[in-house]
Every structure is written in C-alpha cells, then in structure tokens.
Structure 1
Amino acid sequence: MTGLGTAFRALPTLVAGLLALTAAAPVAQAAPEPEAPPEFVALRSVAPTVTEEMRYTTVHNFVGDRIDGYRQPLCILTRPAADALRRAQARLLRQGYSLKVYDCYRPQRAVDHFVRWAKDLQDETMKQEFYPHVDKSRLFADGYIAEKSGHSRGSTVDLTLVKLPALPTRPYLPGEPLVPCFAPRSERFPDNSVDMGTGYDCFDTLSHTDDPRITAKQRANRQMLKSTLVAEGFVNLPEEWWHFTYKPEPFPGTFFDFPVARRSVAGHRAG
C-alpha cells in the first residue's frame, strides 16, 4: 500500500506538469486570409448605380456550383478600372441604359476551381446551356479555361448592357431545363440585359465580339457596349463580347488570391 499511496500523492504534481506542457505547446492557427491592396475598391462605393449580378456566387454558371473564393456578391476592382466604369455608366445613363457586371476581380482559388472542374470530364451538369457544341476535353485547347486569368489582376470585368427601366433577372432554379446560351433570346435563360446574341459565359464562337452571324440589332448592342468602354480606356477580348480590361493595369503581372468579400476592401475609400 505504501507504493500506491506514494503514487496518489504524486498525482497532482504530474497533472500540473502536463497542464504546463500543454499551455506551453504552440497552438496551430490558420493562416490569415490575404486582404486586397489599398488600390482595390468595391465598385458600388464608386459607381453605385451599376447593376451587379455576380454569377459565381450562385450555381448558375458553367460549373453548376458556387465558385471557391466568392464569399459575397460583390464587384471588386482596382480604382482606375472602377473610376472608368463610373464614367462609362454616366454616359450610358443619359442614353437610358445601365451597365450590369457579372464578374470583376477573380481570386486565383476560383481559377483553380475552374481548372479542377475542367479536368473532370464526367461532370457535364451545365453543358446544355454553356457549352453544348464544345467537347469538354477541348476546353483548355480551345482557350475557354486557363490556369491563370486576367481577372485575378483586378482590372478585368465581365459585363453587359441593361435598358432602363429594367426588371430584375429571375432567380435560376437548380435542376430547371437548360437551353443553349446561343438560342434566340426568347428561349434562353431570361437575363434582363439587351440582346447580345448569346448569354454570358457562352463557350461558343458566336460569342466572338465581331462574329458575322449575329443580327444587326445584336451587333449594334455589342458595339454600343464596346465603344462606350473603349472610350474610357478598356480593351475588349475579341473572343468574348462581355470581357474588358482597363489599360494600363496597375498590377499587370500580379495574380491575387484574396477572397471576394467586403472585409477584403474594408476601409478602402474611393479616391
């Protein structure tokens, strides 16, 4: 019994020692989320009348799922790009139109999500709407998906025109029948934008800005968007009527990965 009694008497000392070791051990912490540099702002703080329909915060996109890095439906851009959109919006409002943005700054983690999806050839959930004529195995070779995106540099924006007054676009219902993005406007998903000949993110050559097969009205709408933005310093990607990059870019060689969230630009004021 003497040995057992000694062990019991030593127990508090052993417990105290273990607690001390536990308290001294470093606690693993998650790395803090990166924040946007001060050159980035929320578009609505600069041009609040621009409509924002941030597609990648929803499941209505070519992946069919909410995209990594999009925490909140918010357009974030570099200040020069946001200021240029403000000027373009002022011109359009006088003509009875408004800009509507679908995507702005895009985190690298979102691009990585696109790449993982593109490599999974079995997942064709949204094919019927967004890439009905393109074999998924060709998405990289045909240039629809890449491992880097200009959007991650913060001065690229995807957008369209809306005729005012405009009703809101109805919510997409997961599982609803899909219609090809190049179908007549009356048949495809009822976006409230003007008729551009295809829907947004349509993986098809008909999305080329100057494709000769579109109607005169569709061509006029595309050219109205393009000429308005070009006048304010944007350059259009010829393969996508909706894709514009402000030049010169403040960060031409940097691909950022901070999340799309209000906290990323908290305290950043438009100057």
Structure 2
Amino acid sequence: MTGDFAFVDELVPGIRWDAKYATWDNFTGKPVDGYLANRIVGTKALCAALGRAEESAEALGFGLLLWDGYRPQRAVDCFLRWSRQPEDGRTKARHYPNIGRTEMFDRGYVAARSGHSRGGTVDLTLYHLSTGDLAALGGGHDLMDAISHHGASGITGVEAANRRHLRSIMDASGFDSYDCEWWHYTLRDEPHPDTYFDFPVACPDGRAELAASAAAESTSAAVPCGG
C-alpha cells in the first residue's frame, strides 16, 4: 500500500464495512481480482472526510457502512473480461435486470478507468444506529438500473428521504455524488485526480497469499485481517 493510503477502519473508528468485491456477493458472482482481504482502503484524505461524514450521520441517528473504496485497476480489468463472457444469468436479476452486460459501460455503471482506482471514491449506505439494520434507500449495491439514479421514481418516500440524508451528509463532508448511483461518492479535492493505482487490497501481515491460494476451495477468496 502506498504511503498516503490506509485501511479506512483504522482511521475512522466505528465505521462498518462489507467489501463486496472481496466476496461472492457482487455482480460478477465471485471474488474480484485484487481484493485479497475484506477491508476498505482509501487515501488518508478520504478517511478524514469519512470521519466528518460519520459524525454528521450520527447526529441524524445513522451510521455509515462502506461497500467499496479504493479499487485496483486489475479489478476493473476483471470487470471488462467478465462483461465479454456469455450470460449465465446468475446475478442478472439482482444487479442488471433490464440491460445486458456490455451495456453497463455504455450507461455509466462501470468504467474502464474507475475513480475508485484513484483512492478518492467510496460506495456506501446508511444504517440505523438504534438497531444496526440497514436503512432503506431503494435497491441494493450495484443495482444497475434507473431506480438507482438520484431523483428516480418508483421508490418510497422513506427511501427518497434516506437518499437525501446520505447526499446531504456526503456533500457537507466534501464529496460529490454520481447521478447514476445513489451509493457512489467522490472526494471533491481528491489527492490523486489523474493517477490510477493497481496495488492489491491485502492484509499487512502477509495473509493475502493464504487467501489467494484458497480461492478455488473457499466461498470467499478474502480474509478479514485481524479477526
């Protein structure tokens, strides 16, 4: 990991995460290249801004749960290869019910060069501090459909209000939203606006190698690090 990157949970105590691309629970249906640990990485500037966002969320009775942060370029390349494979239907209904795989790129849901690879972008949602349950925001992570757009019709009043809460929290903390994905936010003053990194998301103690070697046998190629 380069010098100004860090595991987000080490700099933002109490933040929750579920690194989707380190698991089988994502639109490719398997752990993605470059994710060797179930952790979220970002620049230290991103972490500082997320700390501010967490404080703002707590004032409204919410916590933040991260789904993705820094994304190695090799993961983006993995998405490209996956998109060219024949459709098997395993994740279509949940993640891209009304489009084909290759349309993900044309419609802006996936890019050959991702802002995530610069270390200044996160995918996240809200959860209720009182119960720990995820807040309703209308559709899950990587639902590549018009219902995931900001201002979409077809969601409930509560879901629309929660999207506004998240957008307000992130905007006040220095992030810009992305019209097509309610969960996607980029640091306004990101430190590496023109650099796309490719180091893996891996445990600092070397257990990444164990995760990689177990990929063919386990239900997850990632290891949690420290737990």
TM-score tier (shorter): 0.7 to 0.9
Q: Confirm or deny that 1:226 pairs with 2:136.
A: no
Q: Confirm or deny that 1:46 pairs with 2:11.
A: yes
Q: CA 1:124–1:84 in 2, change beyond 3 Å: closer, same or farther?
A: same
Question: How far apart, CA to CA, are the structure 2 residues paired with 1:75 and 1:165?
Answer: 24
- 1:205-234 residue CA offsets vs partner (Å, 9 max, x unmatched): 100011133222111100100100100100
- 1:102-146 residue CA offsets vs partner (Å, 9 max, x unmatched): 000000010011100011133332111111111224222222222
What SS does structure 1 have at the residue aligned with 2:109? coil
What SS does structure 2 have at the residue aligned with 1:224? helix
- Contact kept, 8 Å, 2:147 with 2:154, in 1: the verdict is yes
1:199 to 122, 133, 140: 140
Equivalent pairs: percent with the same residue?
40
Mark the runs of 5 or more structure 2 residues left unpaired by the alignment. 206-227
Q: Confirm or deny that 1:156 pairs with 2:97.
A: no
Q: In the alignment, residue 39 of structure 1 is paired with which amino acid?
A: D
Question: How far apart, CA to CA, are the structure 2 residues paired with 1:161 and 1:121?
Answer: 35
TM-score where L is the length of structure 2? 0.86
- 1:67-96 residue CA offsets vs partner (Å, 9 max, x unmatched): 111011111111111101111111222332
Give the structure with higher Rg (CA).
1
- Contact kept, 8 Å, 2:176 with 2:186, in 1: the verdict is yes
Q: In the alignment, residue 74 of structure 1 is paired with which amino acid?
A: R
Q: In the alignment, residue 243 of structure 1 is paired with which amino acid?
A: H
Q: In the alignment, residue 78 of structure 2 is paired with which amino acid?
A: H
For residue 258 of structure 1, what is the aligned residue in structure 2? 199
For residue 249 of structure 1, what is the aligned residue in structure 2? 190
- Contact kept, 8 Å, 1:41 with 1:78, in 2: the verdict is yes
Q: What is the root-mean-square deviation of aligned Cα atoms in Å?
A: 1.4
Question: How far apart, CA to CA, are the structure 2 residues paired with 1:235 and 1:132?
Answer: 27
- Contact kept, 8 Å, 1:44 with 1:75, in 2: the verdict is yes
Question: How far apart, CA to CA, are the structure 1 residues paired with 2:6 and 2:153?
Answer: 37
For residue 155 of structure 2, what is the aligned residue in structure 1? 214
Question: How far apart, CA to CA, are the structure 2 residues paired with 1:109 and 1:78?
Answer: 18
Question: How far apart, CA to CA, are the structure 2 residues paired with 1:251 and 1:263?
Answer: 23
- Contact kept, 8 Å, 1:54 with 1:75, in 2: the verdict is yes
- Contact kept, 8 Å, 2:109 with 2:181, in 1: the verdict is no
Number of residue pairs aligned between Structure 1 and Structure 2: 205
For residue 73 of structure 1, what is the aligned residue in structure 2? 38
Off by >3 Å, runs of 4+ in structure 1: none
Mark the runs of 5 or more structure 1 residues left unpaired by the alignment. 1-35, 168-191, 265-271
Instruction: Report deviation, 1:262.
Output: 3.0
Question: How far apart, CA to CA, are the structure 1 residues paired with 2:153 and 2:91?
Answer: 27
Question: How far apart, CA to CA, are the structure 1 residues paired with 2:102 and 2:79?
Answer: 13
